[in-house]
Amino acid sequence: LRTAIEEEWDNIPHNMFIRVCVCALRRQRALKPGQSPYRALLETLELTNTKLTLQLINDNNKVRLLLELYRLQGNMTRVKINELKPLKPRFEVPDVLINNPPTEPLSLLSQDENGVVLSLGADSQWLIVSAKPFRLDIMEGREVLLSLNSRGLLAFEHLRIRTVTSAEWVLNVVCPGWLFSPTGPSSISLDFSLPGVEHVYGIPEHADSLKLKTTDGGDPYRLFNLDVFQYELFNPMALYGAIPVMLSHSAQRTMGIFWLNAAETWVDISSNTGSSETPQTDVRWISESGIIDVFIMLGPTPTDVFSQYASLTGTQAFPPLSALAYHQCRWNYNDQEDVAAVDQGFDEHDIPYDFIWLDIEHTDGKRYFTWDPHKFPQPKDMLQGLMDKRRKMVTIVDPHIKVDSSYKIHNEIRSKGFYVKNKDGGDYEGWCWPGNSGYPDFTNPEMRAWWASMFAYDQYEGSMENMYTWNDMNEPSVFNGPEVTMHKDALHGNWENRDLHNLYGLYVQMATAEGLIERSGGVERPFVLTRAFFAGSQRYGAVWTGDNTAEWEHLKISIPMCLSLGLVGVSFCGADVGGFFKSPSTELLVRWYQTGAYQPFFRAHAHLDTPRREPWLFGPENTALIREAVRQRYALLPYWYQLFYHAHHSGQPVMRPLWVEYPQDTATFSMDDQFLLGEDLLVHPVTEEGGRGVTAYLPGKGEVWFDVHTFQKHNGAQNLYIPVTISSIPVFQRGGSIIPRKARVRRSSSCMEHDPYTLFVALSPKRFAQGELYIDDGHTFNFDKQKQFIHRRLSFANKALSSRSFITPSWIEKIVILGASKPSKATLKTPVIVCSNVSGFHTQVGI
């Protein structure tokens, strides 16, 4: 082996455990643009009511591919390319699309020996298929919106019975099962050109800027779910999740590319920015296996692209209102007494919270679905104590299962044959927190159904209705595996892990969420946090940015990381407040609370080896600062809740870059140190150590913005310098908006359920002020199944605030009008209040 390694060393990728199995990438990147061997065989063209099919041939090896083109409802185009006659079926991703996307007819406009022209139905929008070399162009008028294979980098490694080179044999000995499949290399590649585009976004998860960088001369962006220890910043390296969706944006148009492939994937980006040519961005997608299945979302607005993607993969799950409040976590709270003491500490220091979390140490020897009998002997008593205060708990349930013949969960999974298998057919085993562990095959729907059943109250002993779930380590993490994950030749039924690796985490969260729904008889909404994710994960709960570090740069990077996730459907995201690794300075901790209070998922978390950092442990002045940040979160919960209601119904991101609302303002296109919540709140957190001021960009010519703390008015379309102190959180409300708040902050969100609302009306010279108020029971599916909710539009025009009258256990106790002169009098006109059932929502008191 040593001799073989020495002889073949130059042929083996160095830094192996970071760059292992980059052979496919190297082969693909070695291809030169402009030398495409693929030709469209126009005589094979078939056009039906639903699709066009056409064969492509590689003139070098004579292998034929099958191209399928679909025009989809909602201004989208789907392109699929597969082998015409593969040696065996190639993997196609299941369970991510919410349905088979509905199609619309394509019509043939013209055809000659050079290609065909097809109408896409929209005004002056068509698709050109060029024959030699094969190329697709999507046009609008005379403008090319997007081109496929314009650089000639389509590559499709066909399956074949192969021989192994000595270099590959050596690598497979060093990293068994990690290099090649019995049918040989099977990577795929396709390039896309975006004329007029300089800014592209998305393809999380990466700890990088919001605007994606070019990869010329460096590593590509990598999409491969991994358990990464202390990840690097501003690096295209793979992290915990992978969503193969990219958005392009210019002042003229927003578009999206959804590359539906769950294998290891790389994305190269190049641009001619800075040259005298018309701007253009070129993107190349490469995947290790599978087929080409790509959805082109043609916008043209950001809102359109969000709706188009949501129509394919679904929208953000509508969380219980309490999940939008504050979460307190660390690895680990020691025992029931520790939980009670922390709970009491929040009350003593008048800091609200809704959830306390338990990490892996709460279990009996890292056996999930169990409790340590000495540290947590009476879990129901503990949970009941929290319930009495209208609070909740989250416990961790990871997908690696301790191999132990006395452990019920392991025995049942093994007896049912539900574990992932190794290449020899035995149960795949690896090392994780419990020691030797098996890995359930969550790609198997029977396994997912069984897993869901384990959350029933009679199965998960000690659980109650106020206990929810955290899925960690679900990339999956295998401590003794290559790159700390599963070997690529591990078997999920008939498919290797290499084909579907990035789906594993989605399936774990899917099964867990279904279990929480089932245990309530389908009544209660679940809350499940996952670390690993894929396209479609938004349907099942929340994600977080993983094991970050208590450093200022990690605080800063949390903003673009969450913005990137929101752009591709995952609105419910956040970062560990304070940083997971290391210990934050007091200033950093305070600033992180102030930032986290305005990010969708708001949880403090810390490593086992760090000092305790409950909010009251840093002196009374800092306790007061953290208390104020948390209270601001709770006061805004009505606004957060209605933003998530919209995200659930339309796919619009909750936390969004400024360019989403101001798509023609080029000054916003690269901004990622400030953001919008919905369209009406602008937040610029203080993320610099020792910061004495920030410069916030207030967008919108003719707009006005109001400081939510001082009510001072500022004009839009300007950079505003804001002096700050340690207590400052720069937040602005857009003129022309109405935002609901609750001023009576109590110890948990549930305790505020029937408290009154305050409406903040911000006037604008451009428009009438408008807003809304959404109310439901906060935790069940009745809003959807029985339409039990109140959703009212609010408007302020001609010096009058109006709404359709409604009745609710809450009431409006105050209206604050920003930007108005003092009136000589104010008159309240109310209709006769009659107790009623509004949209099925039982109510009793009016305004």
Residues known to be catalytic: 472, 547
What does the alpha-carbon distance between residue 666 and residue 611 come to, in Å, rounded to a whole number?
Answer: 45
What backbone torsions phi and psi does residue 312 show, to the nearest 5 degrees? -90, -50
What is the DSSP annotation of 358-422?
A: E-GGGSSSS-TT---TTTSS-HHHHHHHHHHTT-EEEEE--S-EE--TT-HHHHHHHHHT-B-B-
Residues 6+ apart with CB under 8 A from 342: 328, 333, 356, 614
Closest Cα partner for 601 from 280, 325, 283, 191? 325
What does the alpha-carbon distance between residue 133 and residue 40 come to, in Å, rounded to a whole number?
Answer: 7
Angle among Cα 215, 286, 209 to the nearest 5 degrees reads: 35
**Structure-block tokens of residue 827:** 């008159």
What does the alpha-carbon distance between residue 314 and residue 311 come to, in Å, rounded to a whole number?
Answer: 6
Answer for the pair 115, 130: CB distance below 8 angstroms, yes or no.
yes
Answer for the pair 534, 241: CB distance below 8 angstroms, yes or no.
yes
Closest Cα partner for 259 from 219, 290, 235, 280? 290
Answer for the pair 197, 279: CB distance below 8 angstroms, yes or no.
yes
| CB hemisphere CA count around 394 (13 angstroms) | 30
Answer for the pair 440, 415: CB distance below 8 angstroms, yes or no.
no
Task: Give the H/E segment covering residue 577.
Answer: strand 576-577
What does the alpha-carbon distance between residue 36 and residue 156 come to, in Å, rounded to a whole number?
Answer: 11
What DSSP designation does 539 have? G
Residues 6+ apart with CB under 8 A from 124: 140, 141
**Structure-block tokens of residue 543:** 């994600």
Q: Is 428 helix (H, G, I), strand (E, B) or coil?
A: coil
The dihedral formed by the CA atoms of 381, 382, 385 and 390, expressed in degrees to the nearest 10: -120
What does the alpha-carbon distance between residue 700 and residue 714 come to, in Å, rounded to a whole number?
Answer: 11
Work out the number of other CB atoms within 10 angstroms of the CB of residue 581: 17
CA distances from 579 to 307, 381, 560, 726, 764 (A): 34, 31, 16, 19, 40
Residue ranges in 314-348 assigned as alpha helix (H): 336-348
Q: Is 39 helix (H, G, I), strand (E, B) or coil?
A: strand
